[in-house]
Chain A
Amino acid sequence: MMSFLSSSDFWFLVGTSLAKTIFLIFLVVLPMVSYTVYAERRVSAAMQDRSGPNRVGFPISLLGFKKDFSPFLGGLGQPVADAVKFLLKEDFVPGHVNKPYFWLAPCLAMIPSIVVLAAIPFGSTFLGVDMVVANLNVGILYIFAISSVGVYGIVLAGWSSNSKYPFLGGIRSTSQMISYELGLGFSAVPVLLIAGSTSLTKITQYQVDHGWLLLPFTAGMPGLREILLWIPVVIAFVTFTICMFAETNRLPFDLPESETELVAGYHTEYSSMKFALFFLGEYTAMIAGSSLIVVLFLGGWNFPFIPDGSAGWFWGLVNISVFFGKVAVLLFFFIWVRWTLPRFRYDQLMKLGWLYIFEIALVNVFLTAGILAFTK
């Protein structure tokens, strides 16, 4: 053990892990979060025949340039302006709150969704380094374990705010998370059975060899086994996506934060950067959830006819872009659904979770196992 700690391998591991973390969080995910917020506003506006934020550019005339830079769509400076606003606003803490937990809650909303990203393989290899921060052999269990900690942020926020609407939001969040966590877990089981591993890297590798689980023809003509397995995979994909919507509190299931009934739900009493942390946490969770869907069902970084990172650093970068391209498509889907569907009533939400999603996912596990046993 001591010899490993002093070896150059250890320092290589530490260095590459740090580099990967900084690249993933600060260069990819956080910019992606802020531009998802922008995309959400623009797409929702377009779907409602409005134009959305289309004015804020980058004020480079302050730096001595002739004109402000406002590229093709307009409004691309909006995330920067939003961030500055959040940082400069007064951070008001109401007198009636339970302060330690009130301060802890926003951190607990943000941290799990970032930590989840560690186990996601977001690329093949780049210069011989695996593009995953922590190559865990129980990756998916780790992700489920950590992402369910995210509910504590919401529950603590609701409880420590010491006022009725946040409290109701927190309570709703608790029961919603518990009911949909089961469906989420069971929907992932067919994928684990098919790939024969809980390691996300191995699941991706299986899809590189045998075609994406949802589109088996990406690796040539699928055999009878792949075609038969496609049925449970589609069912698992639908239930998993629905549960992911519930897990990230996105619109058909955003009962913790239902603006029309609970003011703003669990973050009613929050302002400034603390509110922004809840906001960022929600969008980071969206990105983590989309990444998980991409890894489990849509082939991860794989794209037909594009070699992996062993063919050169350029292809390594292409793989990373393909992965985040797929994530971006799913994020658009999240936004699209949000601005289409109305919110479920609370009892409908519970009924859907416990009486339909859970049962369908459970039966689907046996269906997959049966197909796997018969086509051995």
Chain B
Amino acid sequence: MAYVVPRPNLTWKEKMYLPSIVAGLMVTIKHLKNMLSGKTKVLMQYPEEKWDAHMPEHYRGAPTLVKDTKDRERCVACQLCEFICPPRAITIVPEEIPGDSKWAKVEKRPLKFDIDMIRCIYCGMCEEVCPEQAIFLRKDYAITGITRAEMVHDKKKLYELGGVFDGLVQKWNPLK
């Protein structure tokens, strides 16, 4: 049994189209008027206004490396982040800390620490897996570059973005 879609019986006024066209024109002109009088809130004007101020606490932006207050790099080159990274964006070359160094008991530090931002999917697994709380996803989201080489963040760039973290960080924050 076929189902017949019930069509509404239109009055002659509705069949004329014109009243509803005028009603529609009134709707659009109202929007135009509100826009011109500044009543309508326009979307964010991007390059002038940015997301920075509105970013939620748990935002996962670009991964960065951090130092502690004594200017020591926290990373011990355990390479766990390199192994967990799903798109394999992280490449670490470890290096032994020389015996006469103040931090010799740490034994290892990264000689090279590259994150390929073209591959990075901002999943935050590196942050989760890091036993030393050395790698964090910060709020930088506009990572741009002209060449592929420019999109690879090396150790210097990562520390520059990361900055200094003081003491223990609430790493297992449920919001993160």
Chain A contacts to B: CB under 8 angstroms: 43, 46-51, 238, 336-337, 339-341
CB of A309, distance to nearest CB on chain B (Å): 35
- 7 example contacts (A-B, Cβ-Cβ < 8 A) are as follows A46-B36, A47-B28, A47-B31, A238-B18, A340-B25, A340-B27, A341-B21
* Inter-chain contacts of A51 with B (CB < 8 A): 42-43, 45
- Which residue of the partner chain, among A49, A238, A337, A341, contacts B35 with CB atoms under 8 Å? A49
Main secondary structure of the interface of B (DSSP, over half): helix
- Which residue of the partner chain, among B21, B25, B31, contacts A48 with CB atoms under 8 Å? B31
Q: List 8 additional A-B contacts (Cβ < 8 Å) besides A46-B32, A47-B31, A340-B27.
A: A46-B35, A47-B35, A48-B31, A49-B40, A238-B18, A336-B28, A336-B29, A337-B21
> Are A50 and B43 within 8 A (Cβ)?
yes
> Are A340 and B42 within 8 A (Cβ)?
no
> Are B32 and A43 within 8 A (Cβ)?
yes
Would you call B19 an interface residue if the criterion is a C-beta within 8 Å of the partner chain's C-beta atoms? no
* Inter-chain contacts of B40 with A (CB < 8 A): 49
* Inter-chain contacts of B36 with A (CB < 8 A): 46
Would you call B131 an interface residue if the criterion is a C-beta within 8 Å of the partner chain's C-beta atoms? no
Q: How far, in whole Å, are A340 and B25 apart by their CA atoms in the complex?
A: 6
Q: How far, in whole Å, are A341 and B24 apart by their CA atoms in the complex?
A: 7
- Which residue of the partner chain, among A46, A238, A337, A341, contacts B31 with CB atoms under 8 Å? A46
* Inter-chain contacts of A341 with B (CB < 8 A): 21, 24
Output the nearest chain A residue to B24 by Cβ-Cβ distance.
Answer: A340
CB of B46, distance to nearest CB on chain A (Å): 11
* Inter-chain contacts of A49 with B (CB < 8 A): 31, 34-35, 40, 42
Interface residues of B in 9-39 (CB under 8 A from A): 18, 21, 24-25, 27-29, 31-32, 34-36
Interface residues of B in 77-100 (CB under 8 A from A): none
Which one of A43, A46, A48, A50 has the highest number of Cβ atoms from chain B below 10 Å of its Cβ? Answer: A46
Interface residues of B in 124-174 (CB under 8 A from A): none
CB of A154, distance to nearest CB on chain B (Å): 26
CB of A157, distance to nearest CB on chain B (Å): 30
* Inter-chain contacts of B34 with A (CB < 8 A): 49
> Are A339 and B28 within 8 A (Cβ)?
yes
* Inter-chain contacts of A46 with B (CB < 8 A): 31-32, 35-36
* Inter-chain contacts of A43 with B (CB < 8 A): 32
* Inter-chain contacts of A339 with B (CB < 8 A): 28
Q: How far, in whole Å, are A238 and B27 apart by their CA atoms in the complex?
A: 21
CB of B140, distance to nearest CB on chain A (Å): 25
CB of A51, distance to nearest CB on chain B (Å): 5
* Inter-chain contacts of B43 with A (CB < 8 A): 50-51
* Inter-chain contacts of B35 with A (CB < 8 A): 46-47, 49
CB of B124, distance to nearest CB on chain A (Å): 34
* Inter-chain contacts of A336 with B (CB < 8 A): 25, 28-29
Output the nearest chain A residue to B22 by Cβ-Cβ distance.
Answer: A340
> Are A50 and B28 within 8 A (Cβ)?
no
CB of A145, distance to nearest CB on chain B (Å): 30
Q: How far, in whole Å, are A337 and B22 apart by their CA atoms in the complex?
A: 10
Q: How far, in whole Å, are A337 and B40 apart by their CA atoms in the complex?
A: 21
Q: How far, in whole Å, are A43 and B24 apart by their CA atoms in the complex?
A: 15
Interface residues of B in 58-94 (CB under 8 A from A): none
> Are A47 and B21 within 8 A (Cβ)?
no
CB of B83, distance to nearest CB on chain A (Å): 46
Sort A-B residue pairs by CB-CB distance and give the 8 closest, nearest first.
A46-B35, A47-B28, A340-B28, A340-B24, A46-B32, A51-B42, A47-B31, A49-B40
> Are B42 and A50 within 8 A (Cβ)?
yes
* Inter-chain contacts of B21 with A (CB < 8 A): 337, 340-341
CB of B47, distance to nearest CB on chain A (Å): 9
Q: How far, in whole Å, are A238 and B16 apart by their CA atoms in the complex?
A: 13
CB of B25, distance to nearest CB on chain A (Å): 5
* Inter-chain contacts of B31 with A (CB < 8 A): 46-49
Output the nearest chain B residue to A54 by Cβ-Cβ distance.
Answer: B45
Output the nearest chain B residue to A337 by Cβ-Cβ distance.
Answer: B25
Q: How far, in whole Å, are A49 and B34 apart by their CA atoms in the complex?
A: 9
Q: How far, in whole Å, are A47 and B28 apart by their CA atoms in the complex?
A: 5
CB of B28, distance to nearest CB on chain A (Å): 4
Which one of B18, B24, B35, B36 has the highest number of Cβ atoms from chain A below 10 Å of its Cβ? Answer: B35
